[in-house]
Amino acid sequence: MSQLTGQLTLSFDSEEKDITVIPDVEVIRDRDCTIDTPILHGYQPESIYGKGVEIYPAVPGKTDTPHMKKYYLNNLDPLESYDYFFSLFSGGKDSVASVLNLLELGVPKDKIILIHHDIDGGSEKKMDWPATKAYCKAFAAAFGLELRFSFREGGFWGEVYRYGSKQPVQFQDADGTMKRIVPQAWARSLELKKLMRKTELEDDMELFKRYDEELRSYGYRFKFPAKAADLSSRYCSGVLKIEVGSVTIAHQVDTKKDCKIMVLSGERRGESTNRSNYNMMELHRTHAPVRNKRVVHHYRNIIDYSEKDVWEILKRNKVSPHPCYLAGWGRASCAACIFSSPSHFAGLRELLPKYYEQIKSSEQELNFTLDNNKSIDEFVGNAKSCVDHSQKKAIYQLVSGDIKIEDIILPAEEEWTYPSGAFRQGVGGPC
Ligand code: SF4
């Protein structure tokens, strides 16, 4: 069996001569990465699909935490042994690079499924860019890949104002229909809300209080997620992305049972101290080999890449990134991401003033600020907007969502250039 180690070193030696090369992986933090940073991992890998190559991490997997211990995975099996490749596709540059890497490794397109979690979940009050879903659709169409959407009903704002159970998750199944998975306490929560209205009208405050206590035991937020690494306080990532992803993968009609899946995501060590400790490969939380005969391996295939490496893949494939990068943003997170810098929020106020005003009015309503210490207005202060006003087309795409298939891959005669938002010292933090 031959081995691929962290995608840096290829060894196609015979079984007797097998070696595992573990090179030192230099973590280049995004804040230290510049256009002059040398490319370390972003070169085109050899196509290994169908060649019996196992993949080993460049940094050996750790078992430092109970989570790491539980989900430890030493190596990935040869790519051709997996039935499906689910790419958790946000539309940001890292998820794009992760998919391009998969294609360059030779994985057939009909085995790759992009899953995009819509953070707004059908809510009137928005958090994400109008362009994001459109960019994901255009990217998938340009590369001939399948794209499925999923979301938690009510989205970000529904979770901020949660009183009772979590909302149901909806996801697009293999046949294109939307499926709905309802949390256990959902029906009881709805019932309690009705009962509370009734007892309020009847002025039975004793009973009202009892119902209220029970409802709160299923969940109560009325505050913004914290700007923290811990997912229980930064609940938006966990509830609206990670959990939605797991529900989606575990309930797809074609992957419920008897299959072997690889889940891919685009986290990088250079993004944050927290991510620098992530393992490149793990068992995924939907791994259920005994009960469902479903094997699910999680591969963070660009974990060791610097920001420069990521841009290099996009450049090589002539892929135009999400328009927010062209318009000046360093990250394609939610438009109003809690981690946004003052200059990002100043840019948001300029391009999507309604989003900014919604945060302001919610701060007053909740009596809780999005920043740990300051109101949004104080946090932004006199910061200069990050918007690059020369990028008229990108700004238009960003706020209108008008992105076409032909906008994704640049024509051969057009030169790929770094977007204004590249190498902005990772301002904003990870999702
Ligand atoms: S951390 Fe930011 S990008 Fe991630 S879900 Fe929360 S608000 Fe959105």
Question: Measured at the alpha carbon of residue 335, what is the angle toward residues 330 and 341, in degrees to the nearest 5?
Answer: 50
If you measure from the C-alpha of residue 225 to the centroid of ligand 1, how many angstroms do you get, rounded to a whole number?
9
Residues with Cβ < 8 Å from 153, sequence gap 6 or more?
121, 122, 167, 168, 169, 170
Share of the chain above pLDDT 70, in %: 93
Q: Check whether 116 has a pLDDT greater than 90.
A: yes
Tokens representing residue 199 in the block: 């007892």
Q: Which residue's alpha carbon is nearest to atom 7 within ligand 1?
A: 337
DSSP run (H or E) holding 166: none
Nearest to 422 by CA among 327, 355, 341, 349: 327
Q: Mean per-residue pLDDT for 192-216?
A: 95
Q: Which atom of ligand 1 is nearest to the CA of 333?
A: 3
Give the pLDDT confidence score for residue 427 in this predicted structure.
Answer: 53
Q: How confident is the model at residue 229 (pLDDT cuts 50, 70, 90)?
A: confident
Q: Check whether 106 has a pLDDT greater than 90.
A: yes
3-class SS of residue 144? coil
Question: What distance in Å separates the CA atoms of residue 405 and residue 353, rounded to the nearest whole number?
Answer: 28
Strands 146-152 and 169-172: antiparallel
3-class SS of residue 136? helix
Tokens representing residue 145 in the block: 């890949």
Pocket of ligand 1 (CB under 6 A): 119, 225, 236-237, 240, 333-334, 337-339, 431
Question: Measured at the alpha carbon of residue 280, what is the angle toward residues 227 and 248, in degrees to the nearest 5?
Answer: 70
Q: Is the separation of the CB atoms in 408 and 142 below 8 Å?
A: yes
Q: Which atom of ligand 1 is nearest to the CA of 241?
A: 5
Q: Mean per-residue pLDDT for 324-328?
A: 97
Q: Encode pLDDT of 158-179 as tens digits.
A: 999 999 999 999 999 999 999 9
Q: Encode pLDDT of 255-307 as tens digits.
A: 778 899 999 999 999 998 889 999 999 999 999 999 889 999 999 999 999 99
Q: Check whether 38 has a pLDDT greater than 90.
A: yes
Tokens representing residue 326 in the block: 């062209």
Question: What distance in Å separates the CA atoms of residue 284 and residue 96, rounded to the nearest whole number?
Answer: 21
Question: What distance in Å separates the CA atoms of residue 393 and residue 30, rounded to the nearest whole number?
Answer: 27
Q: Check whether 329 has a pLDDT greater than 80.
A: yes
Q: How confident is the model at residue 428 (pLDDT cuts 50, 70, 90)?
A: low
Q: What is the mean pLDDT of the chain?
A: 92
Q: How confident is the model at residue 154 (pLDDT cuts 50, 70, 90)?
A: very high
Q: Which residue's alpha carbon is nearest to atom 2 within ligand 1?
A: 337
If you measure from the C-alpha of residue 236 to the centroid of ligand 1, how many angstroms do you get, rounded to a whole number?
6
Give the pLDDT confidence score for residue 15 in this predicted structure.
Answer: 41
DSSP run (H or E) holding 130: helix 130-143
Give the pLDDT confidence score for residue 20 in this predicted structure.
Answer: 39
Which domains, ranges and CATH numbers included, belong to the chain?
2-162+221-407 (3.40.50.620)
CB atoms within 10 A of CB 404: 12
Q: For a substitution probing ligand 1, which of 339, 362, 371, 427 has the most ligand atoms within 8 Å of its CB?
A: 339
Q: For a substitution probing ligand 1, which of 117, 120, 338 has the most ligand atoms within 8 Å of its CB?
A: 338
Q: Mean per-residue pLDDT for 98-122?
A: 97
Q: Encode pLDDT of 338-369 as tens digits.
A: 999 999 999 999 999 999 999 999 999 999 99
Nearest to 211 by CA among 200, 222, 223: 200
Q: Encode pLDDT of 134-146 as tens digits.
A: 999 999 999 999 9
Question: What distance in Å separates the CA atoms of residue 369 and residue 428, rounded to the nearest whole number?
Answer: 17
Q: Check whether 431 has a pLDDT greater than 70.
A: no
If you measure from the C-alpha of residue 228 to the centroid of ligand 1, how many angstroms do you get, rounded to a whole number?
11
Q: Check whether 308 has a pLDDT greater than 50.
A: yes
Q: How confident is the model at residue 68 (pLDDT cuts 50, 70, 90)?
A: very high
Q: Mean per-residue pLDDT for 221-236?
A: 92
Q: How confident is the model at residue 391 (pLDDT cuts 50, 70, 90)?
A: very high
Q: Mean per-residue pLDDT for 220-236?
A: 93
If you measure from the C-alpha of residue 340 to the centroid of ligand 1, how many angstroms do you get, rounded to a whole number?
9
Q: How confident is the model at residue 239 (pLDDT cuts 50, 70, 90)?
A: very high
Q: How confident is the model at residue 22 (pLDDT cuts 50, 70, 90)?
A: very low
Give the pLDDT confidence score for residue 25 in this predicted structure.
Answer: 67
Give the pLDDT confidence score for residue 274 in this predicted structure.
Answer: 87
Give the pLDDT confidence score for residue 8 in this predicted structure.
Answer: 46
